Structure 1
């Protein structure tokens, strides 16, 4: 299982912190977001990770050299980070998508137990880790779940239809079809501006995405300065 961390963005909503450093290196509890993620992945049993960086790429490279990761890390550059959405970073890792992978956003802290549960539930296809939706937040990636299947994914999903929110963790097996769907989405008009969740949405419309339901609350998206304080050792919600 290969982990892929999408860490290319600047994180303008974390200004002024990201004026001088990439979002993935913002410290939370004394450790960079990226270090939290690599540690959790290693504890969950992942041995290899590809980190896709863009904004202030050299800082990420220097950080990884100075802080020995607990697993094997390959650093890749996304040259399109400033002109594309998160799908550009997935495109930079497209050669890794034909075998099992665990993809996660570079601004989200997750406990190792949460990741381990997701990995244990994953199958040959695509799984999306979601949690039941209470009151939707402004930036939630909304998800509609029916039974064990994801039927729709979108930030613009009608809240009346939404049942869950995505944690940004995509798990895929050997025969997921994710790479083929990625190529179709990015080739569409405006495809470079798509979120990587749009790939999941395409597969969901084909009935090909399992809902991996998580209710522990042991995760936190670090999107604004207040989110840094909200993270309390992985039990924030």
Structure 2
């Protein structure tokens, strides 16, 4: 299984001793290295990482990781990293065919989420998003997380600002090439985000929701979330 990791943004809200967000240490290990380790535990054997802001520095660090751990990491460069995250994903078109995992460089998740999602064969021309139905007492900041409205296993709406929702976007997807076509359609209408592409798919009933159950995940986006991530690691929940 191949995995695409979006790691192009500036990440200005999380600068704790290190300028580049994917390299911020969490429990002494760079954030993106945690992401790669967990995906490998689930069975991923090839990674594609989209870099942008201070990309040379990140690529050098990943090349060192690849040599040290014997992991296959391929680089994709996004020179438009100031734009929304869907631009980074679309840069991967031509590098990935068939189904692949998509995740973010700053989302730490229980490897079981990857493993369970990989075991679900996505219907043709559909994309599956791992969602968290715990919206009452979430680990993540409910004012910052992307919200999702679902019904009968299908996504009805997605976005940070939607008022009616029943779950949260974990940032982990099982994609087919349909994602790239949806990104192109969304961008043509002025929305560069991954959520915009999922909205396109949702309108056609091709955006599916996968319940992660009680598995833990956290978006390490600021110092508060960093502290939570380190506590989860210490407790063995991630």
TM-score normalised over the length of structure 1: 0.89
Which residue matches 2:111?
112
Which residue matches 1:177?
178
SS at match of 2:4: strand
Q: Deviations over 1:77-114 (max 9, x none)?
A: 110002x1101111211224542111111110112112
Q: Work out which of the residue numbers 196, 219, 222 in structure 1 matches 2:217.
A: 219
Does residue 203 (structure 1) correspond to residue 204 (structure 2)? The answer is no
Q: Deviations over 1:123-159 (max 9, x none)?
A: 233100001122671111100110111111111111x
- Deviating more after overlay: 218-227 vs 96-105: 96-105
Distance in 2, matches of 1:76 and 1:228, equals: 27
Contact 1:143/1:154 (<8 A) preserved: yes
Which residue matches 1:131?
132
Q: Structure 1: 5+ residue runs without aligned partners?
A: none
SS at match of 1:60: helix
Contact 2:16/2:223 (<8 A) preserved: no
Aligned-pair CA distance for 1:121: 2.4
Aligned-pair CA distance for 1:6: 0.4
Which residue matches 1:146?
151
Distance in 1, matches of 2:70 and 2:199, equals: 33
Do the aligned partners of residues 69 and 89 (structure 1) sit closer, same or farther apart at CA in structure 2, a change above 3 Å counting? farther
Q: Structure 2: 5+ residue runs without aligned partners?
A: none
Contact 1:38/1:71 (<8 A) preserved: no
Contact 2:148/2:157 (<8 A) preserved: yes
Do the aligned partners of residues 14 and 59 (structure 1) sit closer, same or farther apart at CA in structure 2, a change above 3 Å counting? same
Task: Output aligned runs, 1:1-237, within 5 Å.
Answer: 1-15=1-15, 17=17, 20-67=18-65, 68-69=68-69, 71-82=71-82, 84-124=83-123, 125-132=126-133, 133-134=135-136, 137-158=142-163, 161-173=164-176, 177-189=178-190, 191=191, 194-231=192-229, 232-233=232-233, 235=237
Contact 1:97/1:179 (<8 A) preserved: no
Contact 1:9/1:22 (<8 A) preserved: no
Aligned-pair CA distance for 1:195: 1.7
Q: Which runs of 4+ in 1 moved over 3 A?
A: none
SS at match of 2:94: helix
The number of equivalent residue pairs is 226
TM-score normalised over the length of structure 2: 0.88
Contact 1:97/1:178 (<8 A) preserved: no
Q: Deviations over 1:154-177 (max 9, x none)?
A: 11111xx2000000111124xx52
Contact 1:4/1:103 (<8 A) preserved: yes
SS at match of 1:114: helix
